[in-house]
Structure 1
Amino acid sequence: MIDDVPETKPVPLTRELASHRVRYIDQGQGPVVVLIHGLMGTLHDWDPQIAGLADRFRIIAVDLPGHGESDKIPGDYSLSAHAATVRDLLTALDIDTVTVVGHSYGGGVAMQMLYLFPQMVDGICLVASGGLGQDVNPVLRAASLPGSGMAIPLAASTASRALLGGVLGVLTRLRLFRWGAGDRRAWRNFASMADPAARRAFLSTARSVIDFRGQTVSATRLLASFGDVRALLVWGERDAIIPLAHAHAVRDHMPEGTAIEVVPGAGHFPHLDEPERFDAVFRTFMAGPATC
């Protein structure tokens, strides 16, 4: 009889780079896939993919500077700076080419990597990506306003989260609110805003791409420069943060052969709401012919 062996989770590593000390996970073997989270996120936003895809791919998941356990020192929190940090990490790991998967703000980082370091990126998967249209949830627009730095810690306090969590729990029991896996992850991520350093980094990052009107950085003009790189768009049908319409609006500007996968019932975190479906779609994408 073979004894049951408890599942072991990968242990995060740290690396000192030129600009920041970053935390990351390096798991599995095979073609390299880099997973980049969104605003307020961490590498744990990809836990199902780290576990589910490492049998076939080498998975690199990173806490962007200002997020998770990476440095939150004052500095440049622009898309280009984040893209350069990911590039520096890959260079330090002696990795030459990767497929980049970016969620929300991380999608903007992924596209910036492709624009700045095209020789390094041989495929791109954008998950509910920012940077493809102006519309964004009003809560994120509010973060760009003066005074938001004082309001956020109040909203993220233990007392406020306990009160709101209780209300949401009642609504869930009454079946007036659906609490998906992505919602739970976003709720845990928001708790990080109680930390002053994390909050400052979040505001610097958010304000670099969002103002009171919505998203201020658009990659639409850059899409034509993506050439024949393999590309996939994945969106949740019920995304309340970045509209699904953005994916359809840019479809004709993406490289030939780009597919849009709409996950029924999923919200802004389709890879968490339906991880098995996401992983299956991603495996099919990776098994397709290389076009670059």
Structure 2
Amino acid sequence: MNKDSPRYPMASVELHKDVLRYVDVGDGPPIVLVHGLLGSNESWAGQIERLSERYRVIAPDLFGHGRSDKPSGDYSLSSHAATIRDLLEHLNIKSASMVGHSLGGGIVMQIVYLFPGLVERLVLVSSGGLGTEVSLLLKAATLPGSELVLPVLASDWVRKNAESVMGQLNKWGLPVRPGASMAETWRSFKSVSDRQTREAFLASTRAVVGPRGQTVSAKQHFEKFESIPSLLIWGGKDRMIPASHADNIRREVPNSRVEIFSDAGHFPQLDEPDLFFRVLDEFLTANSKVKTAPTTAVSD
């Protein structure tokens, strides 16, 4: 497979004159996977294949991301939420379990607020919208002039030199082997070298983050979550959004299930793929009719 080819077959739909591309695989209860900033369906690598054995998996590339169009305009949480609604309407899906990672977590919480009938179960993975703290990188993206700095940081020159430094440190006996979370962050960040992707990234980031941290909070909507089965999964070593944010929803919605993967970073679905699938599948199958093929055994 060409490295630029999508991992899974992708379909497309035109929504308001812009083309949205998405993965639609499997047969069973529908589950929607919503990626985060600079992500795409590739952010769910491995999970889509496993989930599609039991579920109908819908994994869009949000507008401004991946292989979808990158129009100028509204990149607010509400706009992204409306896109998911329109996609499900196109697919004639009345409701689904929603899984949101990082920015995608904020989007699915906005769906709960705006279109509660669409959400059967709610899964937040290293989610935005649950506290103010966020990485310095995201704060920096909101500052004036960041549109000039980002293409330099994402350039081939910087990437090759960074890889050269890591290679030299390895030779010196100081192993630097980035984990799956770091590798995915780096892969995604390189995409801002493209002007349209960069503009969409900045618009999406500035819609939810300011110089002091996250500016959008879902706290006022927590009471809506009490009637929806909810699961939070976080990496204990998340440097993008701290795992302590899970406590904010755990206090307000005590019936929420919270799982902290102690060795995972910002992408627990990639750092701990077996454990992630097992926890997610257990949650989705609880009190529901889903195919019961055996899961892979995992050790915590």
Are 2:103 and 1:105 aligned? yes
CA distance in 2, matches of 1:162, 1:29: 42
**Pair 176,138 (structure 1): closer, same or farther in 2 beyond 3 Å:** farther
| Higher mean C-alpha displacement, 175-184 vs 65-74 | 175-184
CA distance in 1, matches of 2:43, 2:106: 16
Matches within 5 A, 1:231-270: 231-254=230-253, 256-270=254-268
2:46 is paired with a residue whose SS is helix
Which residue matches 1:273? 271
The one-letter code matched in structure 2 to 1:251 is: R
The one-letter code matched in structure 2 to 1:165 is: E
Which residue matches 2:293? none
Q: Aligned match of 1:63 in 41, 51, 61?
A: 61
Which residue matches 1:132? 130
Which deviations, in whole Å up to 9, do the C-alpha atoms of 1:147-181 show, x marking residues without a partner? 00000000001101111122234445645544111
Structure 2: gaps (5+ residues): 1-5, 289-300
Q: Aligned match of 2:41 in 6, 29, 43?
A: 43
Contact kept? 1:12, 1:24, Cα under 8 Å: yes
Are 2:203 and 1:204 aligned? yes
Which residue matches 1:122? 120
1:260 is paired with a residue whose SS is strand
CA distance in 1, matches of 2:143, 2:195: 17
Which residue matches 2:294? none
Shift of residue 264 of structure 1?
Answer: 2.1
Number of positions where the alignment pairs a residue of Structure 1 with one of Structure 2: 282
Compute the RMSD of aligned alpha carbons.
1.5
Question: TM-score, normalized by length of structure 2?
Answer: 0.90
CA distance in 2, matches of 1:103, 1:88: 20
Structure 1: gaps (5+ residues): 1-7
Contact kept? 2:235, 2:267, Cα under 8 Å: yes
CA distance in 1, matches of 2:158, 2:77: 31
Are 2:139 and 1:141 aligned? yes
The one-letter code matched in structure 1 to 2:285 is: A
Are 2:42 and 1:28 aligned? no
Question: TM-score, normalized by length of structure 1?
Answer: 0.93
Contact kept? 1:126, 1:232, Cα under 8 Å: yes
The one-letter code matched in structure 2 to 1:138 is: L
CA distance in 2, matches of 1:29, 1:262: 30
Contact kept? 1:172, 1:179, Cα under 8 Å: no
**Pair 168,253 (structure 1): closer, same or farther in 2 beyond 3 Å:** farther
CA distance in 2, matches of 1:154, 1:167: 18
Shift of residue 9 of structure 1?
Answer: 5.2
The one-letter code matched in structure 2 to 1:288 is: A
The one-letter code matched in structure 2 to 1:83 is: A
2:266 is paired with a residue whose SS is coil
Q: Percent sequence identity over matched residues?
A: 45
